[in-house]
Amino acid sequence: MTAIANRYEFVYLFDVSNGNPNGDPDAGNMPRLDPETNQGLVTDVCLKRKIRNYVSLEQEGAPGYAIYMQEKSVLNNQHNQAYEALGIEPEEKKLPKDEAKARDLTAWMCKNFFDVRAFGAVMTTKVNAGQVRGPIQIAFATSIDPVIPLEISITRVAVTSKEDAEKKDREMGRKHIVPYGLYRAHGFISAKLAERTGFSEDDLELLWRALGNMFEHDRSAARGEMAARKLIVFKHDHAMGNAPAHVLFDSVRVERVEGAADTPARGFQDYRVSIDAEALPQGVSVREHF
């Protein structure tokens, strides 16, 4: 497959209602916060995980769309697949001395694993398959307005052990939620890095589908109502780009609708998203995917 020939940037908006979009293990799984502004945070790792999970569901078993970084996977075993496929004997922690063979190993990983092709990977473990710098980078998502995490007490009408049953008939727990938050993330796609990994137009369309649908297959008690709200994509005519990314991002404004700014936001309808298309530099086009 031919690699993409254009550079892209995108603005991704998603929201959560009465849920925890990304718990912080260092804070008892409370929703992540910027302590200076109280704006909510969702890490790039969290978003990439959901993209990987969607791809594994949609493309299950399809050649070239295996997921390298998946739950309970053993990375050395993933690397061994490349060595076995190419008939190369691995040497502990080292790539083959033959540079052509070393390149073939890394290329095999890119060809067969979507997330290596898209996000890159450091595969220099005991079974060394090289390093790949991926064409896609996603920044932390930040909520448009400050959020107030709530700690909700919950009860379970069952106990853990027989000994507990003699003392009590239920157990208490805690659940952390954000009443509502609209989050904004920025993404970057390099055509030049895509040439090195083979990230194709088909892969790009799969990425857009994943961003639009990944929350539909990620429901849980903590994330029951998360939704992709808007994906705004900037396409450059030139592979190296026609404008700095920050200029394009500045053309997208997310504001509270008139009359709603005095009360806490409780839905996407409380916001207005606008794009200053006239301010876009020459050679850049914009498209709203949803």
Question: Which residue, among 22, 8, 290, 251, has the nearest Cα to 143 in the 3D structure?
Answer: 22
At 15 the pLDDT is 98
At 162 the pLDDT is 76
Decide if 158 is inside a domain.
no
In the chain, what are the helix, strand and coil shares in percent, each to the nearest 5?
Answer: 30, 35, 35
Contact between 15 and 184 under an 8 Å Cβ cutoff? The reply is: no
At 4 the pLDDT is 98
Decide if 105 is inside a domain.
yes
List the Cα angle 129/51/287 in 5-degree steps: 115
Q: How many CB atoms lie within 10 A of CB 270?
A: 18
Decide if 192 is inside a domain.
yes
List the Cα angle 199/202/204 in 5-degree steps: 60
Decide if 168 is inside a domain.
no
Decide if 40 is inside a domain.
yes
Q: Which two tokens stand for residue 28?
A: 């008892």
Q: How many CB atoms lie within 10 A of CB 225?
A: 12
Q: Does the reported pTM lie above 0.85?
A: yes
Q: Which residues form the domain of 239? A: 8-151+175-288
Decide if 54 is inside a domain.
yes
At 224 the pLDDT is 79
pLDDT one digit per residue (tens) for the chain, 290 residues: 799 999 999 999 999 999 999 999 998 899 999 999 999 999 999 999 999 999 999 999 999 999 999 988 999 999 999 999 999 999 999 999 999 999 999 999 999 999 999 999 999 999 999 999 999 999 999 999 999 999 988 888 887 787 777 677 777 888 899 999 999 999 999 999 999 999 999 999 999 999 999 999 999 988 879 999 999 999 999 999 999 999 999 999 999 998 777 889 999 999 999 999 898 999 999 999 99
Decide if 97 is inside a domain.
yes
Contact between 230 and 273 under an 8 Å Cβ cutoff? The reply is: yes
Question: Which residue, among 68, 103, 60, has the nearest Cα to 217 in the 3D structure?
Answer: 60
At 118 the pLDDT is 98
* Distance from C-alpha of 98 to C-alpha of 186, rounded to nearest angstrom: 39
Decide if 160 is inside a domain.
no
Name the pairing type of β-strands 120-124 and 128-133: antiparallel
Q: How many domains does the chain have?
A: 1
